[in-house]
Amino acid sequence: MKTISNLAAVVISIVTLLTSCGEEKKVRGRIDYDAIKTELNLNEEQTIKFDATVAKYEDMREAIKADESGDRMARMEKFREVMKKQTEETITFLTKEQGAKFTELSKKFSRGRSGYSDEFIAKLNTELGLDSTQQVMLVAVNYAFEKSYVNAHDYYHGNPEAAKEYWNKFDVERKKTLEKVFTDEQFIQFTKLAQEELFAGEHGGERKK
């Protein structure tokens, strides 16, 4: 009987642990649009438009999933583009405050880019005064970084520490290559500008605020 009581205690503890930890039930890979609607406090008209937009862009995500050729990086890029378009369309029927909040939420829910963003590359092109060959090299080096990191996914999947190690290692390689592409002055300036380009989570979603 004592053993049964002990067992019951263990089971109750486990169940308590499971239920207490289970408050955050965001299903992986899916955005909880109901929670977003509540957070944005949409009116009836906005809700109808919001639901229609969600349906439209969910279809587009399904279309991306239909490409089963296995280019993970191309697929992630398409997902980001869809999220960007969805955000642009959604904020047209939201108030300024709601729009700002939704933009923030969509950033939180969409997977970020592990490499330099297009905006950062444009900034480097301008501020470093890169010539056309250097610009092409910068894009190629950044893609090599991104693709190398994404291709290593099977090794770091679900292991943020390993993901960080891979990201940092490929970042070292990226910078070593760019050092050869840029002049000394350009590279010094680049190093300063790239200081904030750090590892931002396994999928790049927690990029710097």
Using CB under 8 A, pick the residue from 156, 189, 193, 194 that binds another protein: 156
> Of residues 108, 123, 169, 192, which one binds another protein by CB under 8 A?
169
Distance separating alpha carbons of residues 15 and 90, to the nearest angstrom: 41
Query: In the range 59-88, which residues lie near another protein by CB under 8 A?
Result: 59-60, 62-64, 66-71, 74, 77-78, 82
Using CA atoms, how far apart are residues 80 and 60, in angstroms rounded to an integer?
A: 11
Is there binding between residue 173 and another protein (CB under 8 A)? yes
The CB-of-165 to another protein minimum distance in angstroms stands at 4
Q: Residue 32: what are its φ and ψ, rounded to 5°?
A: -85, 85
What tokens does 208 get?
A: 């710097």
Query: Any idea of the CA torsion for 196, 171, 204, 128, to the nearest 10 degrees?
Result: 50
CA distance 163 to 166: 5
Residues at the interface with another protein (CB under 8 A):
1, 3-4, 7, 10-11, 14-15, 17-18, 21-22, 24-30, 56, 59-60, 62-64, 66-71, 74, 77-78, 82, 136-137, 139-141, 143-145, 147-148, 151-152, 154-159, 161-162, 165-166, 169-170, 173-174, 177
